[in-house]
Amino acid sequence: MFGLFKKTSEKEKLQKQYEKLMADWHKLSTTNRAASDLKYAEAQKVLERLEALK
């Protein structure tokens, strides 16, 4: 309840976005390899931005 008004940091937003992209990548890896590769590349870009913040 007390976290209701807490703003998420840029690092937390990027981490959640990275986790979502990796989950999508994993799901697509068994059905559509081209789309899977695009998701993985997108996730790597987010990871680079996340590493730059550290």
Residue ranges in 1-54 assigned as alpha helix (H): 10-28, 33-53
Sign of CA dihedral 41, 46, 50, 53: positive
CA distance 13 to 32: 27
Q: What is the pLDDT of residue 48?
A: 96
Q: What's the distance, CA 22 to chain centroid?
A: 6
Please give the Cα distance from 11 to 8 (Å, whole number): 8
Q: Tens place of pLDDT for every residue, the chain, 54 residues?
A: 566 778 888 999 999 999 999 999 999 999 999 999 999 999 999 999 999 987
Give the pair of three-digit tokens for residue 10: 């840029």
Task: Say if pTM beats, i.e. exceeds, 0.85.
Answer: no
Looking at residue 4, what is its pLDDT? 72
